[in-house]
Amino acid sequence: MPKKPLNPGEHQELGAVLAGIRNELLARGVQVASAYARTGPNGAAARRLTAAVNALDDARAELDRQFFREFPETATPQTYYPGHDAAAVVLRGDLQRAIMASPEA
């Protein structure tokens, strides 16, 4: 059975979510790199977060190319590369409640 490709709306939503995830990973990577050494064993977490951002960027680029192949008449670069304000912020309900209940929040 052939798979059903994403429609333009699904590409829009996915692009916004992936952009939001990238923004969060990037910010957390800076946070970790500022707290620990950048080299040696203590730098492993920051290097892996950088690698995760790079892998996410590669996936976004491929999805962007796919979107332009499937919908050349409606595809725009802003789908997978929206401005910072258009990126979606996604938090699971439990995590969001835990953050809101934190005395530091």
Q: Dump pLDDT digits (tens) for 15-55.
A: 999 999 998 899 999 999 999 987 888 899 999 999 999 99
Q: How confident is the model at residue 65 (pLDDT cuts 50, 70, 90)?
A: very high
The pTM assigned to this predicted structure is 0.79
User: What is the pLDDT of the chain when averaged over all its residues?
Assistant: 86
- Could you tell me what percent of the chain has a pLDDT over 70? 85
Q: Which two tokens stand for residue 44?
A: 């492993």
Q: How confident is the model at residue 105 (pLDDT cuts 50, 70, 90)?
A: very low
Residues 6+ apart with CB under 8 A from 79: 11, 12, 15, 64, 67
